[in-house]
Structure 1
Amino acid sequence: MLLAFGSLFAQHKTFQNPLLPSGADPFSTYHDGYYYYTHTLGDKLMLWKTKNLADLKNAESKLIWTPPTGTMYSKEIWAPEFHIINNKWYVYFAADDGDNNNHRMFVLENTSSDPFKGTWEFKGKIDTHPDRWAIDANVYNYNNQLYMIWSGWEGKTNGQQNIYIAKMKNPWTLEGNRILISEPTYNWEKQGDLDDAINPPHVSVNEGPQFLAHNNKLFIVFSANGCWTDFYNLGLLELKGDNPLGPQNWVKHSQPIFTKNEENGVYAPGHNSFFTSPDGTEDWILFHANDNPGEGCGTKRSPRMQKIEWNEDGTPNLGIPVSNKTILEIPSE
């Protein structure tokens, strides 16, 4: 009995990636003792609830919202994120009418303290100025001002994906014109399978931006390259100064900070989010990746997590993506 109990206890205190067999664009919010997790499903919004994110496969889940048919937001629902703003819950997501050219960002609101209860009200489209293709919204309160960052096109046709920022009047309304703060410039943001006849011939992509704050420093971690390539990776922007709306204040690091690791069998790691351990002493990254080369943007992308550290200069040290065989300790409680 003692051995059996000890084995069971160890299972609850350690885990191995991936957290689920499939799930792209993972995002988690920790609130009142629970992790609330979501990922891209394409046709609906689901929310998972668990005290132990490493045990996500056994988490309680709830269907939050199914879009009505025949609208500009009925299909291709991507990269949902659940945020708590002014004691209300908001979920941001991208969607279209079945034509990728029409992808825009949308938001729902729930005034209940428990996102599994209450009513999710459709607040509408996040209007960007100018109105252009937009996905991957992320929001953050910096110096008592709410900001949104996202990935979008410069014009009305697909050429490359850039990262934009705007101030917010409220959780569903942007203020002023969008401001460009990052576009693909380095080779590691533009490499890939240029001869792939199935996918777009370009791989100049900045997407999936995530705010990350630590010790009075503000960063944006973003995904680079097309998700259909094995070169999908993470880059870093660092705010120099205190004005996030100044493009010159965002300095891009010259090298990626998280890339594929063939030795560990992890390919195309990216579209991440961050969370802290329940006791607040550890910082963790949540990301998706493939187990084999050439698996692209499909359903083989699975969610993984691992602890991160911090460099002496205050920048995040994400390490390397660990093997699925690596036994990890769960976040500190």
Structure 2
Amino acid sequence: MNTMQTYKNPIVEQRADPWVYKHSDNYYYFVASVPEYDRLEIRRSKTIQGIGKAEAITVWRKNETGPQSSLIWAPELHFIKGKWYIYFAAARTDQPVNGTFDHRMFVLENESPDPLKGEWIHKGQVKTEWESFSLDATAFEHKGILYYVWAQRDFNIKGNSNIYIAEMENPWTIKGPQVMLSRPELPWETIGFHVNEGPAMLKRNGKVFITYSCSATDHNYCMGLLTAEEDSDLLNPASWTKSPNPVFQSAPENGQYGPGHNSFTVSEDGSEDILIYHARNYTEIEGDPLYDPNRHTRAQVFKWNQDGSPNFGIPLPDAVNKSKSKS
């Protein structure tokens, strides 16, 4: 018997950098950047579509001054060794006068089985090998090792940020060394800005995949893909291959522009893989695209190529997106 899986996009309006995690309690937990960039909030729903109607619970607000007082970006919610963690990036109100973003990465911890309850304890900054603009952290466990993947600026390399990986001593401490997996170098990675950011991990078919986002945050924003064999040394850059072309990009024919900063989850019955991402439905942006609030969260089923790599297709139009799943 076939059932029809449907998602009506956008899932959540005005939420960029979306992260959806399906927990063992069968709830989907959702965090994202809010347009005000001033807080961290969590939503919970038994369905992906229901996330947009779920109550947004604020669990942390930015400081008034000093570190973590400005531009709270790209949170992710993780459940690691029986505790909840939120990774996020934050800048300071007293940023350099030249306007350069000065983000660093931070971690909150909650021991409660329910992340909407309990106390969120600040575990501090995730310290990297050098101090510079850093953001978009994600974490994953593979073969008993906890890895941390993030975007950071190296002043010796042209551009805003590269993708790095490191082993973790615990969920808030890098064990080191940090290894660069990707830098913006291809034409589609360097439009407007030289950017690699927003990494997200996916394991399937004997491989480890890391998607990432590139270029300016307007209609040129798109997604790239790194691939490694699951038995390879993930801390060796030679283990990773970069796809030569974007794997997900604007689809003007469907009114979708600048898709990226994604996460992965599965459908309600577990039979389909779901890409969660943000995009706009127009290109006429006034001022800095970062302050245009209309990057909406979207969900889309994706398939797999014969070689075991993901096939994300193209962003579907804002409507009811249908896919057939087996039950």
Q: Same fold (TM over 0.5)?
A: yes
Shift of 1:158: 7.9
Q: What is aligned with 2:20?
A: 28
SS of 2:155 mapped into structure 1:
coil
- Are residues 1:56 and 2:51 paired? yes
Shift of 1:285: 0.4
Superposed, 1:4-153 pairs within 5 Å as 14-31=6-23, 32-41=25-34, 42-98=37-93, 99=95, 100-153=100-153
TM-score with structure 1 setting the length: 0.89
- Are residues 1:256 and 2:214 paired? no
SS of 2:78 mapped into structure 1:
strand
CA distance in 2, matches of 1:157, 1:74: 28
Shift of 1:87: 1.0
SS of 1:60 mapped into structure 2:
coil
- One-letter code of the match for 1:137? A
CA distance in 2, matches of 1:330, 1:76: 40
SS of 1:90 mapped into structure 2:
strand
CA distance in 1, matches of 2:46, 2:72: 27
Shift of 1:265: 0.2
Cα gap change, 1:24/1:332 in structure 2, threshold over 3 Å: closer, same or farther? farther
**Does structure 1 retain, via aligned residues, the 8 Å contact 2:17–2:278?**
yes
CA distance in 2, matches of 1:21, 1:30: 20
CA distance in 2, matches of 1:330, 1:55: 20
Shift of 1:157: 9.8
What is the count of residue pairs matched by the alignment? 312
- Are residues 1:160 and 2:160 paired? yes
- Deviations along 1:195-233, one digit per CA (max 9) or x if unpaired, are xxxxxxxx1110001111112210100001111x31110
Identity of aligned residues (%): 39
CA distance in 2, matches of 1:114, 1:120: 11
- One-letter code of the match for 1:34? Y
Q: Which runs of 5+ in 1 are unaligned?
A: 1-9, 193-202
**Does structure 2 retain, via aligned residues, the 8 Å contact 1:259–1:268?**
yes
**Does structure 2 retain, via aligned residues, the 8 Å contact 1:70–1:97?**
yes
CA distance in 1, matches of 2:284, 2:124: 37
**Does structure 2 retain, via aligned residues, the 8 Å contact 1:230–1:294?**
no
CA distance in 2, matches of 1:85, 1:327: 33
Q: What is aligned with 2:196?
A: 206
- One-letter code of the match for 2:52? K
**Which stretch shifts more, 174-183 or 78-87?**
174-183
- Are residues 1:219 and 2:212 paired? no
- One-letter code of the match for 1:246? N
- One-letter code of the match for 1:237? L
Q: Which runs of 5+ in 2 are unaligned?
A: none
- Deviations along 1:236-260, one digit per CA (max 9) or x if unpaired, are 0001451111011111011110010
- Are residues 1:280 and 2:275 paired? no
Q: Work out which structure has the larger RCO, using CA pairs closer than 8 Å and 6 or more positions apart in sequence.
A: 2
CA distance in 2, matches of 1:277, 1:14: 10
After superposition, the CA RMSD in angstroms is 2.1
Cα gap change, 1:331/1:47 in structure 2, threshold over 3 Å: closer, same or farther? farther
- Deviations along 1:157-181, one digit per CA (max 9) or x if unpaired, are 9833110111100000001232111
CA distance in 1, matches of 2:293, 2:27: 27
CA distance in 2, matches of 1:208, 1:21: 19
Q: What is aligned with 2:283?
A: 293
SS of 1:57 mapped into structure 2:
helix
SS of 1:188 mapped into structure 2:
helix
Which of 317, 320, 326 in structure 2 is aligned with 1:323?
Answer: 317
